[in-house]
Amino acid sequence: MPTLSTYSQHLAGLIPAVGRADFPELLVQLLHALVPCNDATILLYPGTDLPVIEYFQEPEETGSSTLELFTRGAFLLDPYYLAATHDKKFGVFLLRDLSPTGFREGEYYKSWYRNCGYEDECGYLIPIGEQGFVNIALGKTKPRARFSKRELAIFEAILPAVKTLCQQHWADSATQSTSVNLRAKLHSALHAFGSSLLTDREAQVINLVLHGHSTKTLAEKLSISMETVKLHRKHAYAKLEVSSQAELFYLFLDSVMSAGNYDGGDTLVAYMQPPKS
Protein backbone atom coordinates (compact mmCIF):
# COMPACT_ATOMS: atom_id res chain seq x y z
CA MET A 1 0.00 0.00 0.00
CA PRO A 2 1.47 3.39 -0.98
CA THR A 3 2.11 5.73 1.90
CA LEU A 4 2.54 9.46 2.33
CA SER A 5 6.20 8.75 2.97
CA THR A 6 6.52 7.01 -0.42
CA TYR A 7 4.88 9.95 -2.18
CA SER A 8 7.02 12.46 -0.30
CA GLN A 9 10.27 10.67 -1.12
CA HIS A 10 9.53 10.46 -4.84
CA LEU A 11 8.25 14.03 -4.96
CA ALA A 12 11.45 15.26 -3.29
CA GLY A 13 13.43 13.73 -6.14
CA LEU A 14 11.05 14.92 -8.85
CA ILE A 15 10.91 18.62 -7.96
CA PRO A 16 14.62 19.37 -8.64
CA ALA A 17 14.38 17.36 -11.90
CA VAL A 18 12.08 19.96 -13.49
CA GLY A 19 13.80 21.06 -16.69
CA ARG A 20 16.08 18.02 -16.79
CA ALA A 21 16.00 15.14 -19.27
CA ASP A 22 15.19 12.61 -16.56
CA PHE A 23 12.02 14.41 -15.39
CA PRO A 24 9.57 12.21 -17.39
CA GLU A 25 11.14 9.00 -16.10
CA LEU A 26 11.09 10.19 -12.49
CA LEU A 27 7.46 11.30 -12.88
CA VAL A 28 6.51 7.81 -14.10
CA GLN A 29 8.41 6.27 -11.18
CA LEU A 30 6.37 8.38 -8.76
CA LEU A 31 3.09 7.30 -10.39
CA HIS A 32 4.13 3.64 -10.43
CA ALA A 33 5.08 3.80 -6.77
CA LEU A 34 1.56 4.93 -5.90
CA VAL A 35 -0.45 2.80 -8.35
CA PRO A 36 0.86 -0.42 -9.94
CA CYS A 37 0.97 -0.12 -13.76
CA ASN A 38 2.61 -2.22 -16.45
CA ASP A 39 3.02 0.45 -19.09
CA ALA A 40 3.48 4.20 -19.36
CA THR A 41 3.78 6.69 -22.19
CA ILE A 42 4.13 10.47 -22.02
CA LEU A 43 3.14 12.40 -25.11
CA LEU A 44 3.74 16.12 -25.47
CA TYR A 45 1.57 18.11 -27.88
CA PRO A 46 3.55 21.35 -28.18
CA GLY A 47 1.40 24.24 -29.39
CA THR A 48 -0.08 23.24 -32.73
CA ASP A 49 2.69 20.81 -33.64
CA LEU A 50 2.59 17.02 -33.94
CA PRO A 51 2.95 14.93 -30.77
CA VAL A 52 6.40 14.21 -29.36
CA ILE A 53 7.22 11.06 -27.41
CA GLU A 54 8.71 12.22 -24.11
CA TYR A 55 8.72 8.82 -22.43
CA PHE A 56 7.90 5.29 -23.49
CA GLN A 57 7.95 2.14 -21.39
CA GLU A 58 7.87 -1.20 -23.18
CA PRO A 59 4.89 -3.24 -21.94
CA GLU A 60 5.75 -6.24 -19.77
CA GLU A 61 3.36 -8.49 -21.65
CA THR A 62 3.50 -9.32 -25.31
CA GLY A 63 2.70 -6.40 -27.56
CA SER A 64 4.65 -4.06 -29.76
CA SER A 65 4.95 -0.33 -30.08
CA THR A 66 2.98 1.46 -32.78
CA LEU A 67 3.99 4.90 -31.54
CA GLU A 68 5.48 6.02 -34.85
CA LEU A 69 2.18 5.32 -36.57
CA PHE A 70 0.42 7.08 -33.72
CA THR A 71 2.49 10.28 -33.87
CA ARG A 72 2.22 10.58 -37.66
CA GLY A 73 -1.56 10.55 -37.83
CA ALA A 74 -3.37 7.92 -35.76
CA PHE A 75 -3.48 10.29 -32.77
CA LEU A 76 -6.26 12.21 -34.54
CA LEU A 77 -8.62 9.37 -33.58
CA ASP A 78 -7.42 8.98 -29.99
CA PRO A 79 -10.14 9.63 -27.35
CA TYR A 80 -7.63 11.43 -25.07
CA TYR A 81 -6.52 13.70 -27.88
CA LEU A 82 -10.12 14.47 -28.83
CA ALA A 83 -11.04 15.16 -25.20
CA ALA A 84 -8.25 17.71 -24.85
CA THR A 85 -8.60 19.43 -28.23
CA HIS A 86 -12.33 19.23 -28.99
CA ASP A 87 -13.87 19.19 -25.53
CA LYS A 88 -11.14 20.99 -23.56
CA LYS A 89 -11.25 18.31 -20.88
CA PHE A 90 -8.27 18.19 -18.54
CA GLY A 91 -7.63 16.05 -15.48
CA VAL A 92 -7.62 12.29 -14.86
CA PHE A 93 -9.72 10.03 -17.10
CA LEU A 94 -10.26 6.36 -17.81
CA LEU A 95 -10.27 5.41 -21.49
CA ARG A 96 -13.77 3.97 -21.17
CA ASP A 97 -15.07 7.32 -19.87
CA LEU A 98 -13.90 9.15 -23.00
CA SER A 99 -14.52 6.62 -25.78
CA PRO A 100 -17.82 6.01 -27.59
CA THR A 101 -19.90 2.89 -27.04
CA GLY A 102 -18.47 0.05 -29.10
CA PHE A 103 -15.01 1.64 -29.23
CA ARG A 104 -13.31 -1.65 -28.31
CA GLU A 105 -14.75 -3.22 -31.46
CA GLY A 106 -13.32 -0.50 -33.70
CA GLU A 107 -10.12 -0.79 -35.70
CA TYR A 108 -8.40 2.06 -33.88
CA TYR A 109 -8.69 0.20 -30.59
CA LYS A 110 -7.58 -3.08 -32.15
CA SER A 111 -4.62 -1.50 -33.92
CA TRP A 112 -3.42 0.64 -31.03
CA TYR A 113 -4.62 -0.40 -27.58
CA ARG A 114 -4.85 -4.13 -28.18
CA ASN A 115 -1.49 -4.14 -29.97
CA CYS A 116 0.04 -2.53 -26.90
CA GLY A 117 -1.44 -5.27 -24.73
CA TYR A 118 -3.69 -2.89 -22.75
CA GLU A 119 -6.47 -4.26 -20.60
CA ASP A 120 -7.24 -0.85 -19.09
CA GLU A 121 -5.89 2.68 -19.43
CA CYS A 122 -5.96 5.73 -17.22
CA GLY A 123 -4.48 9.02 -18.32
CA TYR A 124 -3.67 12.55 -17.28
CA LEU A 125 -4.48 15.43 -19.63
CA ILE A 126 -2.60 18.56 -18.58
CA PRO A 127 -2.81 21.87 -20.49
CA ILE A 128 0.47 23.47 -21.53
CA GLY A 129 -0.07 27.02 -22.75
CA GLU A 130 -3.06 27.98 -24.88
CA GLN A 131 -3.08 25.08 -27.33
CA GLY A 132 -0.58 22.51 -26.11
CA PHE A 133 -1.02 19.72 -23.59
CA VAL A 134 0.61 16.64 -22.11
CA ASN A 135 -0.97 13.19 -22.09
CA ILE A 136 0.41 10.80 -19.46
CA ALA A 137 -0.96 7.38 -20.39
CA LEU A 138 -0.82 4.60 -17.79
CA GLY A 139 -1.79 1.08 -18.74
CA LYS A 140 -2.51 -2.25 -17.11
CA THR A 141 -1.69 -5.26 -19.26
CA LYS A 142 -2.43 -8.17 -16.93
CA PRO A 143 -5.49 -10.22 -17.95
CA ARG A 144 -8.72 -8.60 -16.68
CA ALA A 145 -6.74 -5.94 -14.79
CA ARG A 146 -8.63 -2.72 -14.09
CA PHE A 147 -7.89 0.54 -12.31
CA SER A 148 -9.85 0.61 -9.07
CA LYS A 149 -11.79 3.56 -7.64
CA ARG A 150 -9.16 3.82 -4.92
CA GLU A 151 -6.34 4.02 -7.49
CA LEU A 152 -8.20 6.68 -9.46
CA ALA A 153 -8.70 8.63 -6.23
CA ILE A 154 -4.93 8.58 -5.67
CA PHE A 155 -4.29 9.95 -9.17
CA GLU A 156 -6.91 12.65 -8.56
CA ALA A 157 -5.42 13.57 -5.19
CA ILE A 158 -1.96 14.26 -6.63
CA LEU A 159 -3.25 16.02 -9.77
CA PRO A 160 -2.42 19.56 -8.51
CA ALA A 161 1.24 18.64 -7.94
CA VAL A 162 1.56 16.70 -11.20
CA LYS A 163 -0.08 19.53 -13.15
CA THR A 164 2.15 22.25 -11.68
CA LEU A 165 5.37 20.30 -12.19
CA CYS A 166 4.49 19.33 -15.77
CA GLN A 167 3.59 22.89 -16.68
CA GLN A 168 6.89 24.09 -15.27
CA HIS A 169 8.92 21.36 -16.99
CA TRP A 170 7.32 21.88 -20.41
CA ALA A 171 6.90 25.66 -20.11
CA ASP A 172 9.16 26.29 -23.12
CA SER A 173 6.93 24.22 -25.38
CA ALA A 174 4.02 26.56 -24.56
CA THR A 175 5.87 29.48 -26.13
CA GLN A 176 7.04 27.62 -29.22
CA SER A 177 5.35 28.79 -32.40
CA THR A 178 5.54 27.50 -35.94
CA SER A 179 4.39 29.11 -39.16
CA VAL A 180 2.35 26.01 -40.02
CA ASN A 181 -0.40 24.56 -37.85
CA LEU A 182 0.39 20.90 -38.54
CA ARG A 183 -2.38 19.48 -36.39
CA ALA A 184 -4.97 21.69 -38.10
CA LYS A 185 -3.79 20.40 -41.47
CA LEU A 186 -4.24 16.81 -40.36
CA HIS A 187 -7.68 17.64 -38.97
CA SER A 188 -8.61 19.01 -42.39
CA ALA A 189 -7.29 15.84 -44.02
CA LEU A 190 -9.41 13.68 -41.71
CA HIS A 191 -12.50 15.80 -42.29
CA ALA A 192 -12.05 15.65 -46.08
CA PHE A 193 -11.10 11.97 -46.24
CA GLY A 194 -13.13 10.21 -48.93
CA SER A 195 -14.98 13.37 -49.99
CA SER A 196 -13.75 13.07 -53.58
CA LEU A 197 -15.43 9.67 -53.97
CA LEU A 198 -18.29 9.58 -51.46
CA THR A 199 -21.55 11.39 -50.88
CA ASP A 200 -21.64 13.77 -47.91
CA ARG A 201 -23.53 11.23 -45.80
CA GLU A 202 -21.21 8.36 -46.74
CA ALA A 203 -18.18 10.47 -45.85
CA GLN A 204 -19.82 11.38 -42.54
CA VAL A 205 -20.45 7.72 -41.73
CA ILE A 206 -16.88 6.73 -42.63
CA ASN A 207 -15.46 9.51 -40.45
CA LEU A 208 -17.44 8.27 -37.46
CA VAL A 209 -16.46 4.66 -38.16
CA LEU A 210 -12.81 5.74 -38.04
CA HIS A 211 -13.46 7.34 -34.65
CA GLY A 212 -14.65 4.02 -33.26
CA HIS A 213 -18.41 4.45 -33.30
CA SER A 214 -20.53 1.32 -33.54
CA THR A 215 -23.46 0.94 -35.94
CA LYS A 216 -25.84 1.67 -33.07
CA THR A 217 -24.12 4.85 -31.86
CA LEU A 218 -23.73 5.98 -35.46
CA ALA A 219 -27.46 5.61 -36.02
CA GLU A 220 -28.22 7.55 -32.82
CA LYS A 221 -25.73 10.29 -33.63
CA LEU A 222 -27.00 10.79 -37.17
CA SER A 223 -30.69 10.15 -36.34
CA ILE A 224 -31.01 7.43 -38.96
CA SER A 225 -31.77 3.72 -38.76
CA MET A 226 -29.08 1.09 -38.23
CA GLU A 227 -29.97 -0.43 -41.62
CA THR A 228 -29.37 2.94 -43.29
CA VAL A 229 -25.99 3.19 -41.56
CA LYS A 230 -25.05 -0.26 -42.85
CA LEU A 231 -26.14 0.69 -46.37
CA HIS A 232 -24.07 3.90 -46.37
CA ARG A 233 -21.08 2.01 -45.02
CA LYS A 234 -21.46 -0.74 -47.64
CA HIS A 235 -21.58 1.80 -50.47
CA ALA A 236 -18.62 3.73 -49.04
CA TYR A 237 -16.50 0.59 -48.67
CA ALA A 238 -17.23 -0.35 -52.28
CA LYS A 239 -16.23 3.09 -53.58
CA LEU A 240 -13.05 3.12 -51.47
CA GLU A 241 -12.29 -0.48 -52.51
CA VAL A 242 -12.00 -1.72 -48.92
CA SER A 243 -13.83 -4.60 -47.29
CA SER A 244 -13.26 -4.05 -43.57
CA GLN A 245 -12.64 -1.47 -40.86
CA ALA A 246 -9.01 -2.57 -40.81
CA GLU A 247 -8.53 -1.78 -44.50
CA LEU A 248 -10.37 1.53 -44.07
CA PHE A 249 -8.18 2.49 -41.09
CA TYR A 250 -4.94 1.81 -42.92
CA LEU A 251 -6.16 3.45 -46.11
CA PHE A 252 -6.74 6.63 -44.12
CA LEU A 253 -3.34 6.44 -42.41
CA ASP A 254 -1.46 5.61 -45.60
CA SER A 255 -3.10 8.44 -47.53
CA VAL A 256 -2.37 10.98 -44.77
CA MET A 257 1.23 9.91 -44.21
CA SER A 258 1.98 9.96 -47.93
CA ALA A 259 0.40 13.38 -48.48
CA GLY A 260 3.68 15.28 -48.06
CA ASN A 261 3.03 19.03 -48.20
CA TYR A 262 -0.71 18.70 -47.73
CA ASP A 263 -2.57 21.79 -48.88
CA GLY A 264 -6.19 20.80 -48.42
CA GLY A 265 -8.77 18.49 -49.91
CA ASP A 266 -9.12 14.73 -49.94
CA THR A 267 -5.76 12.96 -49.53
CA LEU A 268 -7.12 10.07 -51.60
CA VAL A 269 -6.96 12.18 -54.79
CA ALA A 270 -3.16 12.08 -54.86
CA TYR A 271 -2.91 8.71 -53.12
CA MET A 272 -4.94 6.86 -55.74
CA GLN A 273 -3.20 8.39 -58.73
CA PRO A 274 -1.07 5.91 -60.68
CA PRO A 275 2.69 6.42 -60.23
CA LYS A 276 4.37 8.55 -62.84
CA SER A 277 6.36 6.54 -65.34
Residue 101 reports pLDDT greater than 90: no
CATH assignment at residue 223? 3.40.50.2300
Residue-level pLDDT at 48:
83
Say if residue 15 is in the same domain as residue 75: yes
pLDDT digit string, tens, across residues 192-215: 999 999 999 999 999 999 888 888
In terms of Cα–Cα distance, which of 156, 164, 154 is closest to 126? 164
Domain co-membership, 154 together with 22: yes
- 81 and 199, same domain (yes or no): no
The answer as to whether 277 is a domain residue is: no
pLDDT over threshold 80, residue 10: yes
Pair (163, 196) in one structural domain: no
Flag whether 70 is in a domain. Answer: yes
**Domain boundary, last residue among 175, 204, 235:** 175
- Residues 155, 26, single domain; the answer is yes
Judged by average pLDDT, the poorest of 223-232, 246-255, 268-277 is: 268-277
On whether both 162 and 255 belong to a single domain, the answer is no
CATH, residue 93: 3.30.450.40
H/E run at residue 15:
none
| Last residue within a domain, chosen from 175, 209, 241 | 175
Last residue of a domain, one of 127, 153, 175: 175
Residues 168 and 232 in one domain: no
Same domain, 121 and 10: yes
Whether 14 has a pLDDT exceeding 90, the answer reads yes
Highest mean pLDDT among 106-110, 117-121, 238-242, 267-271 belongs to: 238-242
Per-residue pLDDT of 222-234, as tens digits, reads: 999 999 999 999 9
Average pLDDT of the residues of the chain = 87
Shared domain check, 189 and 127:
no
> Which range of residues forms the domain containing residue 252?
182-271
**Helix (H), strand (E) at residue 240:** helix 226-240
pLDDT in tens, 138-196: 998 887 889 999 999 999 999 999 999 999 999 988 766 555 677 888 888 888 999 99
Q: Is the pLDDT of residue 261 over 80?
A: no
Query: Is the same domain home to 8 and 133?
Result: yes
Q: Is residue 276 in some structural domain?
A: no
171 and 187 in a single domain? The answer is no
Q: What's residue 63's pLDDT? A: 45
- Same structural domain, 142 and 260: no
Question: For the chain, what is the domain count?
Answer: 2
Percent of the chain's residues with pLDDT above 70:
90
Averaged pLDDT for residues 59-84 = 76
Q: What is the pLDDT of residue 65?
A: 54
pLDDT band with cut points at 50, 70 and 90 for residue 58: low
Which carries the bigger pLDDT value, residue 34 or residue 68? 34
Q: What whole-number distance in Å separates Cα of residue 210 and Cα of residue 230?
A: 14
